[in-house]
Amino acid sequence: MKIIKLIGILAFVCPAFLSAQQKVVPLKYGDMDQWITRKIEESKIIGGNTKLLYELGPTQEIVNNEPFTNMGGSPWGNSNVMAKVMGIVKTNTSVYPEERGTGYCARLETHIESVKVLGLVNITVLASGSLFLGDMKEPITGTKDGEKALNSGIPFTERPKAVQYDYKVKVSDEPDRIRLTGFSRKSTVPGRDCAIMTCFLQKRTEDEDGNIWAKRVGTVVVRYDQSEDWTEGAVYEIVYGDISKEPYFDEELMGLGAGHYYARNSKGESKLIQEDGWASQDETPTHLILQFTSSLGGAYIGSPGNTFWVDNVSLVY
């Protein structure tokens, strides 16, 4: 029997569960073996270096400073971005392909990124590695409201039993995290950092003003607070319906509105997804949010050095 630690409880994934599954369905590009390499030339005023950004999609190389949109039907976005602040082109790379066996995995890293031009701009931010279903709107034009650039989740109407993937984790030894937003001094955030996997199934609606509302259909969140070597085929059950009274419930990470996710409405406008209730246990979702993140706490919070490796992401039915 394999024991997998979830938030607040020990979840047992045993052969009986695995044998009962009907099928394991890999997510498109979820084997992490195909990557697009983007070559971006940063502005000469900050050195004019050519930097590499990596995206999951059909293997190819792109040499230009054009905003990126998902290619080849890839459902994956990540925190690698091209920014253009006050006319200065700057990049951030926190997700990398890394060789594993005969293919690749994704390596998500938390690090500090800075850009300094005397008299123009002086920004230092903490950037965590994030890989998620959805896409990112480029270029990023500032650190304020950066989360609005994310289009979180994909259309999805199925009811999988679980999420399955391979993972490895390296967690910082620092007892607390730091906050670096680019416009304030470094501050301390209580609590040791950890890596997070979040999976929310939602039933979304849009009102006449373009606001996005959602009922939570299914939930599973996993916190990795210790360094671990590779675990293959880890399986985490998706729980349907209201879990707010369960002993393992964590309001910060599992509660309605957790993650403060944004999505684009039918007009292409970025809107906060407002979760206003729990769906019934037999409800059919409209969207799937799945995110792997190397740090806890949201944008600009974490511990440099935290690293989360992910591979072979599938859904279990």
pLDDT at 145 over 70: no
The phi and psi torsions of 282 (rounded to 5 degrees) equal -105, 15
The phi and psi torsions of 15 (rounded to 5 degrees) equal -55, -30
Task: Look at residue 159 and give its three-state secondary structure.
Answer: coil
The per-residue b/e assignment along 289-300, b for 16 or more CB within 10 angstroms, e otherwise, is: bbbbbbbbbebb
pLDDT in tens, 87-141: 889 999 999 999 999 999 999 999 998 777 656 667 788 999 999 999 999 998 8
Number of domains in the chain: 1
pLDDT at 15 over 70: no
pTM higher than the cut 0.75: yes
Q: What is the CATH number of the domain that holds 233?
A: 2.60.120
pLDDT in tens, 70-84: 999 999 999 999 998
